[in-house]
Amino acid sequence: MEKRAFIKRDHEEGHNLLWNDYFSETPTYPANYFRRRFRMNKQLFLRIVEKLSNEVRYFRQKKDALGRPGLSPLQKCTAVIRLLAYGTAADTVDEYLRLGEKTDRACLEHFVEGIVDLFGDEYLRRPTPEDLQRLLHFGEQRGFPGMIGSIDCMHWEWKNCPTAWKGQYTGGSGKPTIVLEAVASYDLWIWHAFFGPPGTLNDLNVLDRSPVFDDIIQGKAPRVNFYVNGREYKLAYYLTDSIYPKWANFVQSIPAPQDPKSCLFAERQEGCRKDVERAFGVLQA
């Protein structure tokens, strides 16, 4: 049986290189380089590192039996962010951060679990009654009482899709993609996200599989009351493009408007509906 190769990686040297490059008082690379390379602001990254190192045991720095320091929280989180941001092989940053492939993957698993456990209640939730009132208030100010966001789909290219799966996820573009259905509000907050399963999917057949209306079907949706032209309505709605079905939950633009009233409505609807497209642009960036 072949013995496992031992590589003395010098974890402390890897931490010092990373610290001097980005986190010291006079870092080698300024904040704009950090933002471009890490795909987030330094303050946000440090908040994540601090939270994980305090709450998740795996991310705390330990010492081995000889008293040598292990990997720091900065090294572990940086390795994960590089993997997520660029989708590269697990050991591409080994020579810089001093992490092997197996350790990289373990960091990724604990990172994802830690983020969901620590931040899920705040960032992965449905709107609370207070959130709903705020969304309705801003919707009414923009000319759409009862509107709580915009819904749309995008095809996200899966650059590192396994070869065996490419046929299931490849559509008309010739490249494997994953369909993402999302509901976003004016502040780019995504309140609903659903990734479509394999197959040729578009906005309509993803909607058939999506849980976006589960609360309404199960009678758990919060009650909404608003008036338009003196008539009371009790069902909130989303702004959509013309591909969606003509349901009461969807308000579409007016194709080829003729009179000034229709032109104004189409202009306002298409302007507000850009919220979800802006959210997609931020995700892709």
Q: Are residues 106 and 140 in the same domain?
A: no
Q: Are residues 147 and 89 in the same domain?
A: no
Last residue in a domain, options 106, 122, 138: 122
Q: Which residue has the higher pLDDT, 43 or 86?
A: 43
Q: Are residues 242 and 273 in the same domain?
A: yes
Mean pLDDT, range 112-135, rounded to an integer:
89
Q: Are residues 154 and 272 in the same domain?
A: yes
Average pLDDT score over the chain: 86
The pLDDT value given to residue 3: 66
The pLDDT value given to residue 165: 85
Q: How many domains does the chain have?
A: 2
* CA separation for the pair 209, 212 (Å, rounded): 9
Q: Are residues 117 and 171 in the same domain?
A: no
Does residue 5 lie within any of the structural domains? no
Does residue 3 lie within any of the structural domains? no
Q: Are residues 116 and 133 in the same domain?
A: no
Last residue in a domain, options 99, 122, 145: 122
Last residue in a domain, options 105, 122, 139: 122
Q: In the numeric block, which tokens belong to residue 240?
A: 């959509």
56-70: per-residue pLDDT in tens? 999 998 887 777 788
- pLDDT at position 194 over 70: yes
184: confidence class by pLDDT, cuts 50, 70, 90: very high
Q: Are residues 184 and 86 in the same domain?
A: no
199: confidence class by pLDDT, cuts 50, 70, 90: low
Does residue 43 lie within any of the structural domains? yes
CB atoms < 10 A from the CB of 89, how many?
A: 12
Q: Which domain holds residue 50?
A: 11-122
Q: Are residues 145 and 112 in the same domain?
A: no
The alpha carbons of the chain give a radius of gyration, in whole angstroms, of 24
| Contact between 238 and 216 (Cβ < 8 Å) | no
Strands 237-239 and 147-157: parallel
Q: In the numeric block, which tokens belong to residue 273?
A: 């509906």
The pLDDT value given to residue 1: 57
Does residue 4 lie within any of the structural domains? no
* CA separation for the pair 262, 91 (Å, rounded): 57
